Structure 1
Amino acid sequence: MARILGVSHSTVSRALRDSPEIGPLMKQKVRDLALNLNYRPNAFARNLVRQKSEHIGIIIPDIENPFYASLCKRIIRFFENNNYKTIICNSDRDTTKEKSHIEYLEELQVAGILMVPADVNQESFMHLTTSGVPLVLIDHDGTKEKIDSVMGNNFIGACIAVKHLISLGYTKIAHISGPENADPSLARLKGYLHVVSEFFSTDFEPIIIHSDSTFTGGYEASKSLFSGKYDFDAVFTVNDVTALSLLQVVNERGLRVPYDVSVVGFDDISMARMASVPLTTMRQVPEDIAREAGNILLDKMQTGYSDSQRNIFLTPELIIRDSCGSKLRV
């Protein structure tokens, strides 16, 4: 373009950036030629030259999970309002994929990374604490790793959910847990175990079925729960995705929620209120998580690393709908 117009490369570059140093006539000539040549500026190449990025990396474990999809939407909106673009990577809870995504984002020289770790093993991301790439963890407690983090208080949320079932008179409460190496599911399992050990006698044997927190995994775990091996009257599930799968299994067996079994989920995804039996659940607010994590990351990008570590826990809210059977217990 510079050769065709007979000007310097810097003149073309400044014209494309709408610099006030370039007159309107030259700007128009450059734009017209760019249009004719179908030219598009390479944002990532520009980042390398300017040593400044306009992109934020987001790594999540399961893009099909409505909670994480909703969270991504809020993060994207937050950073759009702050003049940043976002790059979303899905790890499938695979630490090898996660490490590859991190390396890719580093190569692109993103301005910062928001990340929901694939598991509690921090090997894939710990080097970021010294690499110069600002990092904030979501849905993972970064206290031990001394990394800023934002997450729902999963332990407290689970305690609230199980205590609610106990308050309704249920005494044989089962739990469908999530991945055994994921921070949220571990904390929710601990909350369940804490409450049942506190309220029930030592003769009570906790009923725990593990899943991968997906629709398919939740469905298979729910079938195992209804295999005939277990005696239970209520189920607290690791998330709403699993709870919705459980509703399907209950229906397939000719049973009814909450008349035959009570169900409480976690997250309050949009489908929870529209389920065949509206789902009682612990509400997490993706917008709050996105805002808190986004503000921390912006601060780190603008001011550099701070000596003050920020680990924020947001308390979930119990949302009572039909699946817990509260109307039957009045």
Structure 2
Amino acid sequence: MFPITRMRRLRSSRLRPLVRETELDVKDLICPVFVDETITEPVEINSMPGYSRLPLDMIADEAGCIADMGIPALILFGIPAKKDEMGTHAYGEDDVTQKAVRAIKKEAGNDIIVITDLCLCEYTTHGHCGVVNEAHEILNDPTLDILGKTAVSHARAGADIVAPSGMMDGMVKAIRNALDDNDFKDVPIMSYAAKYCSAFYGPFREAAGSGYAFGDRASYQMDIGNSNEAMREVALDIEEGADIIMVKPALPYLDIIYRVKKKFGVPTAAYHVSGEYAMIKAAAQNGWLDERRVVYESLLSIKRAGADMILTYFAKDVAKEIASK
């Protein structure tokens, strides 16, 4: 069709914004926060430059800062002072996540949505996401009751959304039933429905102190080669009562994000994980990449694939960048 059709006509700097199909907005972002009850000052995470664990007495101020930047939500990861085989400090009324939620709600109220990560790996001595027997098998069904109790404790503390990430079969149903039975029927569930057994989680395990003492998580997290399985996982979680579906990691699984959104049409989240953050940071520190542009391009690709919301460690950086335009 050349010269009638000239695709470059609409690519000039003045016309470009008029025909842009996808925009990244601060309202698309969710900021992860690590709260550690064993520290009194922020502790930088070596493998995630610029990111830190925060003590409990700083968590409300951090939430206020995030809200002031226009970011609508944060997700809390708690690092407890004590761990045991059963992860009992995941669901105590005065445990770290519960105290953090109450502190945020007391200071920030409804200025920010508080999402709580709902898993046992940070709370168990073995670092796995479920109950373990003497043969080092991760037991699915005995874990469900603990997840239900933990969800109720988070909701009672004031959490707006609970986000189960342990990839236990039936976890969404167990959590939905526990919430409903305790008069928390209006608390939504954001399920890590398609969570892959990925090599991109390494820095997070340092950040959350959740490295495993034996084996790996392949028996409950998804095989990296499977996409149809992700569709089955998502369908089951929706049937069990999930309100928001998450895909994790994000960039290596853009095809999964696209398929989930196209097939189910439900609110879809994507987790731009610690390894993705660390790689960009390392390359930028070496002068190999323009961090600002690469971050924006990466997150825009996640949005373009179909994600409605993006959990990213770059949330505050991107909010500043958007505000400056």
In the superposition, the TM-score normalised over structure 1's length comes to 0.28
Larger Rg over CA atoms: 1
In the superposition, the TM-score normalised over structure 2's length comes to 0.28
